[in-house]
Structure 1
Amino acid sequence: MYTSITGRIASAILTLGLMSAPAVAEELRYAHVGSEGDIQTQYAAEAAAGIAEATGGEVTVKVFPASQLGGVAEMVDGVRLGSISMGHHDFASLARIVPDVAVFNAPFIYRSAEQALAATDPDSSPALQEINAKLIEEGGVRIIGRIYRGARHISSNFEVKSPADLKDKPFRAVPLDLWVSMVKGFGATPTPVEVSELPTALMTGLVVGQENPLTMISANKLYEVQSHVAMTGHMHSVLAVFVNEDVWQALSEDNRAKITKVLDEKADESLRWAQESEAGLVEELKENGMTVITEADGLDMDAFRTPVLDQIRADFPDFAPYIEQIAAVE
């Protein structure tokens, strides 16, 4: 009897101890390919700090920037497998799971930066909610946030005012089908190059041009190997923040809500960072010797818009209903 009572008391004490013990912190491995100085790198660092604070340290995030855990394909595969908890990149990087997700990176489909951010909100965008359900079912990956990096523009080592200036020239394409299609619309020859290899590819002449937000052009010092920027703004660069579904479901509902709130706040901040920095970046690039070409200088936007959209429609006919849903977002 004494032994039985003692055992029950010990068991009760152990149970109370476990109930009162602090939760074991969950560390998430967060990978991306952005370099120092890029908006996406600032976003990841601040989101990690915000998540730790919001969850009281129950969830911590260790960020691996600048392709430390591999290129885009390796990162996406890592998140699918769970060896990487979460990451971010262009929506189109997830097209190997659900091809239609690339629509959110399609050129010339958003009316403004604000509308681009609204149309990619996982909580309110009908198009994204539909595609997110497919990503979860088919790849075990969920989009939980987004980053606005700014409009993408063309840089080159010669003047570009229309697709005729790029005709048949080797031009860097992000190694994704959507970018290959877009570069064809530019009139150039698509040459897939990972971002980590881009400065070398430009320096050696493997490619003679590329397109990216001004933040990336500055952060990677592409002005050292490029002489011109054409302010095409052909694509609002919105990146998807995605997580392994099993990792996500292993977190408490309360912590998931806190994480989502942090990511939403940082999405709005990323928009502000991009908008506030663009004018200063233009001046910085000029000071570093680049010639900036605008419509006032003869940049023919219609000459780009028409063939690019025609090429996208031909290569991705299934995008049509999603583009309509995106256009309906205020």
Structure 2
Amino acid sequence: MKKTLTTALLGATLLAGAAQADEIIFAHGENPGNPRFLAAEKWAELFTACTGGASTVNVAPSATMGDDAEMLTSAAAGVIQVTANSQGPMAQIVPEFGMLGLPFLFNDLPTAWAVLDGEVGEMLDQRAQNAGLKVIGFWDNGIRNVTHLKKNVSEPADLKGMKIRTPPDQMAVDIFEALGAAPAPLAWSELPTALQSGVFDGQENPLVNIYTAKIHEITPYVTMTGHKYETTPVVAGLVWWSGLDEATQACALEATAEAGKLQRQMVLDSDTDLRPKMEAEGAIFADADRDAYRAATASVYDKYAAQYPELVAALRQAAGLE
């Protein structure tokens, strides 16, 4: 059995559903049509089938359980069981997650997936467990590009003074400060209103997030900067996870992997499929001078290589940069 949790059900679920061992809340922040939304629905179907219907999965989309940081806190506290979350909030708890967003680290998504599905992913999971969270898989949040209200930003100089929203991610803030912009973090759910009110000149996200949230209708200038990658860690509360038998844990891992194949492919396909759709809807695209962007953000590597020398070196090698 699978139900979609709406705002109207939220209070009842907190009082009753979360306390029941056979009732699982899978929370995330995306709206219908986004790959994360569709993959969460698929996860619920797969997990329920694998466990023979022993558990009910309530999928709580669209930040109905709070923003990403709040969902991580809820998972650790046992209020929810699983969240498809974001790299920035995870980096606030496990700083090493932020290293995945080093500027221009991954040239393509399959390279990033291979790194996350190997020793780097295992290391990040171990760090997360120390904070009461269990990483059960890595979905995708794409390679990111910049949108602006009034202009394209093909050269780093075009960003000078730009008020740009970033996720709550120090790496993103550092990148845009190095580029001369004026970045500020804001929860994803609050972004459309902030853009419409003029708080920001623009924002950065993968095309799939821009399109499904209709951000291109507010900020129609889309520059393909490709400046950083972000993963979507699928995270369980460690207390809940530790109380599961091995068969149920295996079902959760299998559901995450299988739904992740769908989610990753959708994000990958969107990089080529969405540009013509968005152009037809009025978006104005430009390609960035990525060599200039790389040079302008080199200081970000210097900062984090000093803090995490072994991890940064390992990531550069795994990504094929060395």
- Deviations for 1:171-212, whole angstroms, at most 9, x for unmatched residues? 111122222112213321012221111111111211111111
Alignment partner, residue 272 of structure 1? 265
Report the Cα distance in structure 1 between the residues aligned to 2:317 and 2:55, rounded to whole angstroms. 36
Alpha-carbon spacing, 1:42–1:319, altered in 2? closer, same or farther (3 Å):
farther
Q: Which residue, 147, 151, 158 being the options, matches 2:139? A: 147
1:216 aligns with 2:209: yes
Alpha-carbon spacing, 1:40–1:107, altered in 2? closer, same or farther (3 Å):
farther
Alignment partner, residue 112 of structure 2? 116
1:248 aligns with 2:256: no
Alignment partner, residue 72 of structure 1? 68
Report the Cα distance in structure 1 between the residues aligned to 2:229 and 2:113, rounded to whole angstroms. 9
CA shift for structure 1 position 284: 1.3
Report the Cα distance in structure 1 between the residues aligned to 2:238 and 2:302, rounded to whole angstroms. 32
Are the equivalent residues in 1 in contact too, given 2:100–2:230 (CA < 8 A)?
Answer: no
Report the Cα distance in structure 1 between the residues aligned to 2:230 and 2:277, rounded to whole angstroms. 20
Alpha-carbon spacing, 1:241–1:265, altered in 2? closer, same or farther (3 Å):
same
Alignment partner, residue 262 of structure 1? 255
Which residue identity does 1:319 align to in structure 2?
A: Y
Alpha-carbon spacing, 1:326–1:265, altered in 2? closer, same or farther (3 Å):
farther
Alpha-carbon spacing, 1:156–1:132, altered in 2? closer, same or farther (3 Å):
same
What's the TM-score once normalised by structure 1's chain length? Answer: 0.85
CA shift for structure 1 position 25: 6.7
- Deviations for 1:85-118, whole angstroms, at most 9, x for unmatched residues? 1112223312232222221233311232111112
- Percent identity, aligned pairs only, is 27
Alpha-carbon spacing, 1:41–1:106, altered in 2? closer, same or farther (3 Å):
farther
Instruction: Please provide the CA RMSD for this pair.
Output: 1.9
* Structure 1 portions without partners, runs of 5+: 1-23
Moved >6 Å (runs of 4+)? none
Alignment of 1:39-118 (within 5 A): 39-118=35-114
What's the TM-score once normalised by structure 2's chain length? Answer: 0.87
Alignment of 1:130-141 (within 5 A): 130-137=123-130, 139-141=131-133
Alignment partner, residue 174 of structure 1? 167
Which residue identity does 1:147 align to in structure 2?
A: W
* Structure 2 portions without partners, runs of 5+: 1-19
Q: Count residues in correspondence.
A: 299
Report the Cα distance in structure 2 between the residues aligned to 1:263 and 1:39, rounded to whole angstroms. 13
CA shift for structure 1 position 328: 4.1
Greater C-alpha Rg: 1
Are the equivalent residues in 2 in contact too, given 1:25–1:58 (CA < 8 A)?
Answer: no
Which residue identity does 2:138 align to in structure 1?
A: R
Alignment partner, residue 27 of structure 1? 23
Report the Cα distance in structure 1 between the residues aligned to 2:249 and 2:143, rounded to whole angstroms. 30
Are the equivalent residues in 2 in contact too, given 1:106–1:178 (CA < 8 A)?
Answer: yes
